[in-house]
Amino acid sequence: MSEFVPSFDDKKIDKKWQDIWYNGTYFNAEDFSDKEKYYSLVEYPYPSGAGMHIGHIRAYLSLEVISRKRRMEGKNVLFPIGFDAFGLPTENYAIKNQIHPRIITDRNIKIFIQQLKATGFSFDFNRLVDTTDSEYYRWTQWIFLKLYEHGLVYKDIAYVNYCPSCQVILSNEESQGGKCDRCVSEVVQMEKKVWFLKITEYADKLLDGLNDLECNTRIKTEQQKWIGKSVGAYIYFPVKDTSERLKVFTTRADTIYGATFMVIAPEHPLLEEFSERIKNLDEVKAYQEKAKHKSEFERIELSKDKTGVLIKGINAINPLTNEVIPIFISDYVMITYGTGAIMAVPAHDTRDYDFARKYNLEIREVISGGNIEEEAYTDIKGGTLVNSSIIDGLEVKDAIIKITKFLEDNNLGEAAMQFKMKDWAFNRQRYWGEPIPIIYCEDCGVVPVPYEDLPVELPMVEKFMPSDTGESPLANIPEYVNCVCPKCNKPATRETDTMPQWAGSSWYFLRYLDPSNNQELASKEKLNYWGKVDWYNGGMEHVTRHLIYSRFWNHFLYDIGVVPNAEPYKKRTAQGMILGADNEKMSKSRGNVVNPQDIIDEYGADTLRTFVLFISDYEMSTPWSDSGVKGARRFLDKVWRLFPKVNDLNSYTKSLELIINKTIQGVEKDCETLKFNTAIAKMMTLTNEYNKQTQITRADYEVLLKILNPIAPHLCEELWNKLGHKELLVFEPYPEFDISKTVENDIPIVISVNGKVRDKIQITRDTAKVELEKIALSQKKIITFTEGKQIVKIIVVPNKLVNIVVK
């Protein structure tokens, strides 16, 4: 004991235990083990050149703690990690520095693995997944072909951000604010035929499936809103003097008698169809052109000031009143939602109201209860239908039902549903992505690559610069483009677009179950054994897209019999962000980025882990603080310094029994509810309590090491080892608490007068109400406040307080 130093050597201890863990099989998940399985999943990182961010550490630590705890609870834990390595930053870096993305990716992945290990994460590193590995994306392509086979893939026109000066298609990130990232010129919306996945076909399933997902309401509502189901009706408005009918979608069929004009999107096909009839075609064309050049940004900015053009020469007829009504084009109606056409009811829709006011159109009230002189009356709870013929006098909800029925019966419309969610534009004009396994043949048309020819590999070429035609770089690589038609063996060409970033991450959680299977994406047996992800943690920003996309793929794979569950995840949580010390989002440009490696170098991995978990509520965002790190280290040193105080007794010190049991109970609950900050606070309190003793027992100490182990495993393993244990803490049973020893016998009771605390007394637990009242009233301090006053009321909350109300 004489050589005991007052502060542990983090470098030595970190290395020692990391070597033991990672050279051993401690964290390897065992397929088909008899133990109960537990699958914890964190969102795998994009291996950027900057290395790991403090945000990664926080994101992974929750389930790191849970996974280590589950192993101690006897579970067969699968806690995998991998890399979502396709993507723009790598490609851009590659172009700039003339290094192939493959080389950069491999280099970055290596750095990430090294950093993850330096932090002591208990990932199963034998199941690494890399989405850019052709043995992985072979199955991404396979799923795409399956989707194709089942009619869920189609080609259609999409509007992409195009920079006319660079002649390059830009991602949304590269064209923020409507300006090109590279040359700052205006970005235009260009039409392009691209691949779509019919995710909308799964909209209802994805909505219903949310019932089975355990998560907070925020996560649920964000997904619900993203899917955006709305129930209403299609109504057909005949186009005057033609046999065409203009189809509109509305959720307010009840307001049809108030429709005073129609609005169609600038891209609406009606304009093309009846172009000869349009008397002001030039004006219309000019408006269409203007709308095309409006970036999304501008459309939002200008949203309050509505513009439009009256189409002269074509009119619509209200199918119920036969009234002739004008048609406008305006970009406040989107071609991408509903039918791209609306019946405008200015009296009861704010957008139509604004438009009507601007162009002096009739505003006809059909629901009483508002003041349409002032604003549109959109409330659907109050109000009765007026000026509405067959639905006059009805309430809104009844009117909707009746009018929809009437429309259906008379073939003037039908009940309908719309989703805000759009089909998934599944393409990028980039090199560094999964090739889309499609071949174009002059004779056979679009031909899917046969399954046995997968993977379609990315060519390892030196030239992967963007083309100047808005096509993918792959289009410039003849040895890639030129191929043979699998059907007729004639020369053919390959699809040159690649898949979007979200492709690989839509099924990676399945590949972890069987990462090196070259026959199937994962074996049936393993899929069945591991089942659903038990707990999935990740960023709030992925709750809409990634979560929905991956649920979609999983639902599809379930429908074709590949996976055993429709829903892939049982439970989803999300961590809060760590901001810079200046309370701003961490970014290179702000210079407030914290590199976790610096903390490890200075204080060791356990300090980093402890502090990141201690900093605040896990689900809340919080600024970084350098000074707080020291506190975490100080705490761990205190635990270390307890070691010489440990005696050989194998039971808890009597006077510590209560706090030990309470701490186990509290830490257990806090960890399971992601309240790691309070869990650590409780362990700090216990440590401070131990510190006051001249001696503590081995049992006292060991229980602390066990509950602290998931958070600070290097230190705990070291101390556990120093106590003479041969086995590691990894599978040591997690401590249990004795509920009967978590409650004190003597408890403090607060006595207040008129709600103000005036005295505190110690009393035996469960003292009767009357008794408490009597004791409270007889306290000297209390008497000074009650003397000479009338006692109106006494409230007694057993084991808590007595409140005396006086006058």
Quote the CA–CA distance of 688 and 25 in Å, as a whole number.
36
CB of 645 to RNA, least distance (A): 12
Helix residue ranges, H only, 560-675: 596-603, 605-614, 626-642, 657-672
The yes or no reply on residue 222 touching RNA (CB under 7 A) is: yes
The yes or no reply on residue 665 touching RNA (CB under 7 A) is: no
Produce one character per residue of 557-569: b if its CB has 16 or more CB atoms within 10 Å, e if not: bbeeebbebbbbb
The yes or no reply on residue 538 touching RNA (CB under 7 A) is: no
The two tokens of residue 498 are 């690649």
Q: Give the nearer residue to RNA in terms of CB position, either 332 or 432.
A: 332
Q: Which of 251, 523, 693, 786 binds RNA (CB under 7 A)?
A: 251
CB of 423 to RNA, least distance (A): 13
Q: Give the nearer residue to RNA in terms of CB position, either 332 or 652.
A: 332
The yes or no reply on residue 609 touching RNA (CB under 7 A) is: no
CB of 228 to RNA, least distance (A): 5
The yes or no reply on residue 658 touching RNA (CB under 7 A) is: no
The yes or no reply on residue 676 touching RNA (CB under 7 A) is: no
Binding to RNA in span 99-128, by CB under 7 A: none
Distances in whole angstroms, Cα of residue 799 to Cα of each of 514, 751, 765, 783:
55, 11, 6, 21
CA end-to-end distance (rounded Å), the chain: 66
Give 373's contacts (C-beta < 8 A, 6+ positions apart). none
Among 97-105, 228-236, 357-365, 707-715, the segment contacting RNA (CB under 7 A): 228-236
Q: Which of 485, 492, 684, 716 binds RNA (CB under 7 A)?
A: 684
The yes or no reply on residue 803 touching RNA (CB under 7 A) is: yes
Lay out the site mask for RNA across 262-281 (x = CB under 7 A, - = otherwise). Answer: ---x----------------
Binding to RNA in span 428-457, by CB under 7 A: none
The yes or no reply on residue 621 touching RNA (CB under 7 A) is: yes
The yes or no reply on residue 800 touching RNA (CB under 7 A) is: yes
Q: How many residues bind RNA (CB under 7 A)?
A: 84
Quote the CA–CA distance of 499 and 482 in Å, as a whole number.
19
Among 34-42, 297-305, 424-432, 589-597, the segment contacting RNA (CB under 7 A): 297-305
The yes or no reply on residue 617 touching RNA (CB under 7 A) is: yes
The yes or no reply on residue 228 touching RNA (CB under 7 A) is: yes
Q: Which of 541, 598, 736, 738 binds RNA (CB under 7 A)?
A: 541
CB of 420 to RNA, least distance (A): 4
In one letter, which amino acid is 154?
A: Y
Among 200-208, 310-318, 652-660, 789-797, the segment contacting RNA (CB under 7 A): 789-797
Query: How would DSSP label each residue in 399-456?
Result: HHHHHHHHHHHTTSEEEEEEES---EE--BS-SSSPBP-EEEETTTEEEEPPGGG---
Which residue, among 516, 526, 508, 531, has the nearest Cα to 31 in the 3D structure? 526
Binding to RNA in span 306-325, by CB under 7 A: 306
Quote the CA–CA distance of 539 and 572 in Å, as a whole number.
10
CB of 630 to RNA, least distance (A): 5
CB of 769 to RNA, least distance (A): 12
Task: Name the strand (E) or helix (H) holding 721.
Answer: helix 713-722
Q: Give the nearer residue to RNA in terms of CB position, either 155 or 585.
A: 585
The yes or no reply on residue 635 touching RNA (CB under 7 A) is: yes
Q: Which of 688, 695, 745, 764 binds RNA (CB under 7 A)?
A: 688
Q: Which residues pair with 424 in a beta bridge?
A: 197
* Share of the chain residues as helix, strand and coil, in percent rounded to the nearest 5: 40, 20, 40
Q: Give the nearer residue to RNA in terms of CB position, either 357 or 526.
A: 357
Give 736's contacts (C-beta < 8 A, 6+ positions apart). 664
Query: How would DSSP label each residue in 507-536?
Result: THHHHTTSTT-SSSSS-HHHHHHH-SBSEE
Helix residue ranges, H only, 258-395: 270-273, 281-293, 296-301, 350-359
Q: Give the nearer residue to RNA in terms of CB position, either 595 or 616.
A: 616
Query: How would DSSP label each residue in 735-750?
Result: P---GGGSS-SEEEEE
Q: What is the dihedral of CA 565, 569, 570, 576, to 10 degrees?
A: -170
CB of 680 to RNA, least distance (A): 6
The yes or no reply on residue 7 touching RNA (CB under 7 A) is: yes
The yes or no reply on residue 334 touching RNA (CB under 7 A) is: yes
Q: Give the nearer residue to RNA in terms of CB position, either 159 or 558.
A: 159
Angle, helices 626-642 vs 698-708, to 10°: value is 150
CB of 556 to RNA, least distance (A): 23
Residue recorded with tokens 């007729």 = 488
Q: How long is the chain?
A: 807
Give 534's contacts (C-beta < 8 A, 6+ positions apart). 38, 39, 40, 570, 571
Binding to RNA in span 411-430, by CB under 7 A: 418, 420
Backbone angles phi, psi at 385, to 5 degrees: -70, 135
The yes or no reply on residue 196 touching RNA (CB under 7 A) is: no
CB of 298 to RNA, least distance (A): 9
Among 279-287, 367-375, 493-501, 675-683, the segment contacting RNA (CB under 7 A): 675-683
The yes or no reply on residue 245 touching RNA (CB under 7 A) is: no
Q: Give the nearer residue to RNA in terms of CB position, either 190 or 805.
A: 805
Q: Give the nearer residue to RNA in terms of CB position, either 437 or 666.
A: 666
Lay out the site mask for RNA across 745-764 (x = CB under 7 A, - = otherwise). Answer: ---x-x-x-xxxxx-x----
Q: How many CB atoms lie within 10 A of CB 711?
A: 27
Q: Give the nearer residue to RNA in terms of CB position, either 651 or 691.
A: 691
Residue recorded with tokens 């499609």 = 438
The yes or no reply on residue 623 touching RNA (CB under 7 A) is: yes
Q: Which of 445, 628, 644, 798 binds RNA (CB under 7 A)?
A: 628
The yes or no reply on residue 218 touching RNA (CB under 7 A) is: yes
Q: Which residues pair with 493 in a beta bridge?
A: 440, 482
Backbone angles phi, psi at 7, to 5 degrees: -140, 135
CB of 670 to RNA, least distance (A): 8
Backbone angles phi, psi at 646, to 5 degrees: -80, 125
Q: Which of 25, 33, 167, 221 binds RNA (CB under 7 A)?
A: 221
Quote the CA–CA distance of 10 and 76 in Å, as a whole number.
29
Q: Which of 16, 117, 630, 698 binds RNA (CB under 7 A)?
A: 630
